[in-house]
Structures are given as C-alpha cells and as structure tokens.
Amino acid sequence: MKVRVKIWIEDDEKNLIFGGGKTEVLELIDETGSISKAAQRVGMNYKKAWSHIKILENNIEDDLVNTNKGQGELSGSSLTPKAREVIQTYKILQHDIKKYADDRFKELFLKDNKEILNIKDNEK
C-alpha cells in the first residue's frame, strides 16, 4: 500500500489556477519551443493551452510565455524566468507534500511493518 496525493492551486472561487497539467504544458513549451506542439503532446488544442497560460498569467500578474510570430526560426515560444520560477516552486511544494504524506502514512498505517488496516479488519 502507498498513499497518493494530487496538488493543485485554486483561487477563492475554487477555480483551478495551477497544477500538474499546467506545469506539464509549460515544460513542453520549454522543450518544444511551441505552444501548439506542447498542446498536441498533452492532447489538447492550442486555444485551451493558451487559455491555461492566460489564466495563470492573470492570477500571478506576470508574463510566462514569450511568443515570436515570424517565419521559420524566428517563430516560436519560450518561457520567461517567472515561468521557470513558478514551475520550480510548484515542484518544491509538490515534493514536500508528497514526502510528508508518505512519512505520515508509514507512521499511521505501517507501524512495525504490520498494516494497521489489516489488524483493524481482523478486530471486527
């Protein structure tokens, strides 16, 4: 057995602002140099990927993606330093919460290498 956690960030109205999916889109933009290619790799259309980026930019009040409209090598997209900072900060949060959940799960459920859930089932 192991514990699973999923981390995301919402605004006060419970709208998704940032999470694993948006992190993946940003990382793929960085890797591919293209919003379109990044969107395609995660199975969404360009408009939805751009919408995700704009929602996050509006909430952090900073640009995350630089777009260059041009021909050939002059076209493409790249991440701003702020985008890299947001990705890194989210990954730190995700890692810390996962580690805490793993440690706490072991403490509560796997005492003395005996699964406490099995012990409780036998007591019924």
Q: Which amino acid is at 108?
A: L
Q: What is the pLDDT of residue 111?
A: 74
- Sign, CA dihedral 34-40-10-23, equals negative
Q: Which amino acid is at 107?
A: E
Q: What percent of the chain has pLDDT over 70?
A: 85
Which residue pairs, CB below 8 angstroms and at least 24 apart, start in 51-55? 52/21, 52/22, 52/25, 53/22, 53/25, 53/26, 55/15, 55/17
CA dist 24 and 91 (Å) reads 11
Question: Domains in the chain, start-ordered, CATH in brackets?
Answer: 10-123 (1.10.10.10)
CA 48 to chain centre: 16
Would you state the structure tokens that stand for residue 111, as one six-digit string?
A: 């005492």
Residue 115, pLDDT > 60, answer no
Name residue 68's beta-bridge partners. 76
- Higher-pLDDT residue of 69 and 38 is 38
Please tell me the pTM assigned to this model. 0.80
- Higher-pLDDT residue of 109 and 87 is 87
CA dist 53 and 23 (Å) reads 10
